[in-house]
Structure 1
Amino acid sequence: MITGKNYIGNQLSAIGSKTYTTFNPKLNIENKHTFFEASKEEIEKAVVLASEAFEVFRKVSGAKKAEFLNAIADEILALDDLLIETYRSETGLPEGRAKGERGRTIGQLRTFADLVAEGSWVEASIDTADLDRSPIPKQDIRKMLVPLGPVVVFGASNFPLAYSTAGGDTAAAFAAGCPVIVKSHPMHAGTGELVSAAIIKAATKTGMPNGVFSNLNSSGIEVGVQLVEHPAVKAVGFTGSIRGGRALFDLASKRPEPIPVFAEMGSINPVVLLPEATITKGVDLAKTYAKSITLGAGQFCTNPGLLIGIKGEALTNFITTLSEEIVKIEPSCMLHPNIIGNFERNKTNALQQSGLSVTAELDSDVAVNYARQTVTTVEGKTFLENTTLHQEVFGPFSMVVQCQDIEQLETIINTLEGQLTGTIIAENEEALQYNTVIDALQNRVGRIIFNGVPTGVEVCPSMLHGGPYPASTDSRFTAVGIHSIKRWVRPFSYQSWPNNLLPDELKNENPLGISRLVNGKHTDSKI
């Protein structure tokens, strides 16, 4: 049941006077539920509850946290059709996408449950004492990862489940031992409330402290600003625009006690077409990339917005095929009138730049809030001289840059901002020949793909979803996979502590049976 209220811990609350609704972009109508924006009092109470909950939750065992995470997954599944229908009404996305994203969300929760149940993720490191060492005795030093404290997570517009209320940021924070306050995304507040109810039920069933989770509604930026500035908040997770992520980063940096903001932001995900592969693979790849560019109406953070190749017949054939194929694809509904409005404005701004040519744009009539996919091309020299052409157009839009030679191509790569992904289209021997191009691309991205498409982010330990700024605010961390837990923890050392006073992870007996680094060697044995 959707009430439109905020979850302040395990209590529903609606004392604020500001309200708003969500929107069905496919039907082009407002949805029926009214949502109450969180007041200053509700924000304060949520943060106080989270701080109190942290004193308990930080000491909850891995086994109990795993029980909590699995219970959240079970409760989300129990929402069944109500969740799917609400998701679709707030996004315009098809049933298959909704169920697929729900499956990914469930998978993330259960993966983190497995991680904390096993326990070795804390990276326990033990250097035992040698008090007879000369000239200076060696003290007993033991280190492990400990949670930071209450975390604020901002829901993402383009992934209402996997990157929002119970998405990867929240799952990782819970696994680390951090209470979470979600600033719900206004475009899918109903979906967010349903998932919030599932989290609260799971917390109650598994005995988690009240305040381990809160969900706050907001139609604008005010609630988010107050949360980031609150002294009891210790970290922030964000998925969205460069403008939004940078604003939060700046706010957090200006606090008397600065805190980390882990923001995953914009990316045009450059694709480099090396000459020989463009000849041998170009036509087939053009068909593949037409689908990738339009996937989900281009509303994926890994959408290939930039294709770079060497000017010539092969690249011309690639552009021709891409242009022919992309207009055959049925247009898709975008997430919200604001989203398609931004798409049209950014696309128009790009098309107004001197030297840019349109090679394909759907010219048939489309329904309201449906996007017309577009392919453009530009000379390498023009691209280098105009950084406006380097900016993301969020939606089904891509630009092919035609370089004079490989030197110009490499120069372009070196001038790009940081990106989530980069792709190399090459024959094997060709990749060896152009290793400096690959090195240049590696320096600008967080993940590099060989002869594939960047769309699709596998949730696994080896995935790096992040990259040099502005792809993310800290390229050392991933927003996807079990290692994303490292954003919500800090290393902490104990020196010369009695064994019985140490946490189980660091005791001589190793009661949890985890893998530890003991005097420089990995082992799960007792000391």
Structure 2
Amino acid sequence: MKVTGEMLIGQSTAYGSAGCFRAFNPTLGAEIEPMFGVATSAEVDRACELAKEGFQSYRNTSPEIRGRFLETIADYLLGLGEPLYARAALETGLTTARIKGETQRTAAQMKMFADVVRHGRWRHATIDSSDQSRQPLPRADLRMQKIPLGPVGVFGSSNFPILYSVAGGDTASALAAGCSVVVKAHGSHPGTSELVGRAIQRAVRDCGLHQGVFSLLFGNGNEVGESLVDHPAIQAVGFTGSEGGGMTLVRRGAQRKIPIPVFAEMTSVNPNFVLPGAMKLRAKEFASQFVERMTVGVGQMCLKPGLILAVNDEHFNTLRIALATALSAKESETMLNPAIYKSFNSAVARSRSGTGSTVVAKGQAPKGAFEGQSEIFEIDAMNVMIAPELTNEMFGPAAILIRCAHKEELLEVAKILRGQLTMAVHMEPGDTELALQLMPILESKTNRILANKFSNMVEIGYATVHGGPFPATSDSRFTSVGATAIERFLRPVCYENLPPELLPPALQDDNPLSLWRVIDGELKHQ
């Protein structure tokens, strides 16, 4: 499949006429062909209006049709094979092995949502039977289900060209909910986005769905994204990226004439609490594993462990030396694009100049123009409490070691940390009492707590939670990964005393969809 630089609006292609741009190869430091056309406001409008039209029929598709559609996307995505892996590697500097793994996980995610659609629990079908004998007033017949919000705008991420982009979790969960989708491709990997978009476009056609179920737009700057969020047809937005970009969209969605939710995953440093018992027994092991995970993907991951908190006891220096030893062997690697490289170096300079900040160690010096050099800083806990911004994210291969004078200070620092995607506790049995004191603090700061593990990977499953209090996400009530990510794009509707012929299938007495339903407070399969 050839990359043409064209957008996909429904079943048609269009070369945007509001300007053009090329993808950038960060390894070679050069632009690559072809030229991509930027969408005009009229083209954004056309995609959104098609999504509005397509939503009306797509929302009513049967579980089998919708499930088969999601499975078809997965199959077509896997069918792209080597041309997709090669193009994504060219645009991002990531290895083809990494890209292949992302593709397989994305396909698995689509197939998981096919199962979610078929089993139907996402509908939350609930029936409270009428009780005409109740005193002092009869109880009405009440029935509730969740329905899709409407067309969803999705913003592809820079750091996961497959898994969190055109066919990623936002698109998969929105399509599973019954929403049509308009994606704005990320400028870091437009060719990759086009190839994946064409696979989805083909699946829409081959499954006999309305062409407005999916569209893909290109933009170079903010105009296309702003037009997408502003369009009255769009009823929700999914975003993965920086705090600044995410909050700009959140505010824009809230300021519309009819406000819409913007579900933004933004920033996290994923703190690791190394408790005294664990540090005594395995400081060197922890340090080696931490550095390995801190530098995976050149540290350009939302789940990169970027913060260590430990008590300055007789074993603290062992931890510090082990971190320095492990990091000094790490080679610099190419970052995703010049903008991320520049932002990373600015963040590192901020940490380096922070009050009381010292450099624990650096990785090997860069050899290429956009290679990120690994670095770990050490800061006293008192300085962090005076200037909490010292713990802000460094999106790249860098981290901070916070030196706490005692256990109480460790707990106090934990309380001032911002919201996170994950927090990890490294402990031994003797650390249980301190861990118990930490738990309520961690629960207030994150939606995912780990023990004796690092947070680089997120399992795509039914119990998965990938979210957290601000600024990790814009709404901590939801996850952007896992089966319950579908909840972001649904809303409840209650039907009171409706005649049987008007009831949706999920709430009809004969249960034609064979759902598990809550009937008069009890879960039943009838």
TM-score by length of structure 1 reads 0.98
In structure 1, the partner of 2:290 is 289
Alpha-carbon offset, residue 402 of structure 1: 0.3
Question: Is the contact between residue 332 and residue 370 of structure 1 (CA under 8 Å) also seen in structure 2?
Answer: yes
In structure 2, the partner of 1:258 is 259
In structure 1, the partner of 2:155 is 154
In structure 1, the partner of 2:413 is 412
Counterpart CA distance in 2 for 1:311 and 1:335 is 36
Counterpart CA distance in 2 for 1:255 and 1:383 is 38
Question: Is the contact between residue 422 and residue 442 of structure 1 (CA under 8 Å) also seen in structure 2?
Answer: no
Find the residue that maps to 2:301 and give its secondary structure: coil
Counterpart CA distance in 2 for 1:143 and 1:205 is 33
Counterpart of 2:450, as a letter, is I
After superposition, the C-alpha distances for 1:353-411 in whole angstroms (9 at most, x for unaligned) are 22100011124342222211001101111111112302111000010000111111111
Counterpart of 1:163, as a letter, is Y
Alpha-carbon offset, residue 111 of structure 1: 0.4
In structure 2, the partner of 1:456 is 457
In structure 2, the partner of 1:20 is 21
Counterpart of 2:443, as a letter, is Q
Question: Is the contact between residue 311 and residue 403 of structure 1 (CA under 8 Å) also seen in structure 2?
Answer: yes
In structure 2, the partner of 1:378 is 379
Alpha-carbon offset, residue 222 of structure 1: 0.8
1:39-438 → structure 2 map (5 Å cutoff): 39-438=40-439
Find the residue that maps to 2:188 and give its secondary structure: helix
Moved over 6 A (4+): none
Counterpart of 2:405, as a letter, is Q
Counterpart of 1:468, as a letter, is P
Counterpart CA distance in 1 for 2:142 and 2:519 is 10
Find the residue that maps to 2:333 and give its secondary structure: coil
Counterpart of 1:410, as a letter, is L
Counterpart CA distance in 2 for 1:350 and 1:329 is 20
Counterpart CA distance in 1 for 2:191 and 2:509 is 49
Question: How many residues of Structure 1 are paired with residues of Structure 2 in the alignment?
Answer: 525
Alpha-carbon offset, residue 6 of structure 1: 1.2
In structure 1, the partner of 2:444 is 443
Distance 1:363 1:119, change over 3 A: closer
Alpha-carbon offset, residue 93 of structure 1: 0.3
Q: Answer with 76-85 or 433-442: which moved more.
A: 433-442
Find the residue that maps to 1:413 and give its secondary structure: helix
Counterpart CA distance in 2 for 1:197 and 1:88 is 18
Alpha-carbon offset, residue 15 of structure 1: 4.4
Question: Is the contact between residue 67 and residue 113 of structure 1 (CA under 8 Å) also seen in structure 2?
Answer: yes
**Tell me, which stretches of 5 or more residues in structure 1 are unaligned?**
none
Find the residue that maps to 2:372 and give its secondary structure: coil
Counterpart of 1:229, as a letter, is D
Find the residue that maps to 2:448 and give its secondary structure: strand
RMSD (CA atoms): 1.1
Counterpart of 2:169, as a letter, is G
After superposition, the C-alpha distances for 1:421-469 in whole angstroms (9 at most, x for unaligned) are 0011111341234412222122111111101111111111111100000
Counterpart of 1:79, as a letter, is L
Counterpart of 2:7, as a letter, is N
Counterpart of 1:299, as a letter, is Q
Counterpart CA distance in 1 for 2:364 and 2:292 is 18
Question: Is the contact between residue 331 and residue 364 of structure 2 (CA under 8 Å) also seen in structure 1?
Answer: no
Find the residue that maps to 2:183 and give its secondary structure: strand
Question: Is the contact between residue 9 and residue 49 of structure 1 (CA under 8 Å) also seen in structure 2?
Answer: yes
Q: Answer with 103-112 or 113-122: which moved more.
A: 113-122
In structure 2, the partner of 1:518 is 519
Q: Answer with 429-438 or 456-465: which moved more.
A: 429-438
Question: Is the contact between residue 350 and residue 388 of structure 1 (CA under 8 Å) also seen in structure 2?
Answer: no
Counterpart CA distance in 2 for 1:364 and 1:157 is 25
Question: Is the contact between residue 419 and residue 445 of structure 1 (CA under 8 Å) also seen in structure 2?
Answer: yes
Question: Is the contact between residue 350 and residue 389 of structure 1 (CA under 8 Å) also seen in structure 2?
Answer: yes
Percent identical among aligned pairs is 38
Question: Is the contact between residue 505 and residue 512 of structure 2 (CA under 8 Å) also seen in structure 1?
Answer: yes
Counterpart CA distance in 2 for 1:254 and 1:332 is 41
Find the residue that maps to 1:461 and give its secondary structure: coil
Counterpart of 1:502, as a letter, is L
Counterpart of 2:323, as a letter, is L
Counterpart CA distance in 2 for 1:469 and 1:120 is 28
After superposition, the C-alpha distances for 1:122-147 in whole angstroms (9 at most, x for unaligned) are 11001111122221111111101100
Counterpart of 1:447, as a letter, is R
Find the residue that maps to 1:419 and give its secondary structure: coil
Counterpart CA distance in 2 for 1:363 and 1:154 is 34
Alpha-carbon offset, residue 14 of structure 1: 1.8
Question: Is the contact between residue 424 and residue 438 of structure 1 (CA under 8 Å) also seen in structure 2?
Answer: no
Counterpart CA distance in 2 for 1:384 and 1:286 is 24
Counterpart of 1:457, as a letter, is V
Counterpart CA distance in 2 for 1:278 and 1:121 is 43
Q: Answer with 278-287 or 382-391: which moved more.
A: 382-391
Alpha-carbon offset, residue 3 of structure 1: 1.3
**Tell me, which stretches of 5 or more residues in structure 2 are unaligned?**
none
Find the residue that maps to 1:104 and give its secondary structure: helix
After superposition, the C-alpha distances for 1:472-524 in whole angstroms (9 at most, x for unaligned) are 01101000001000000001111111223211111111111111000100011
Distance 1:429 1:126, change over 3 A: farther
After superposition, the C-alpha distances for 1:75-102 in whole angstroms (9 at most, x for unaligned) are 1112111111111011000111000000
Find the residue that maps to 2:442 and give its secondary structure: helix
Counterpart CA distance in 2 for 1:441 and 1:335 is 31
Q: Answer with 222-231 or 145-154: which moved more.
A: 222-231
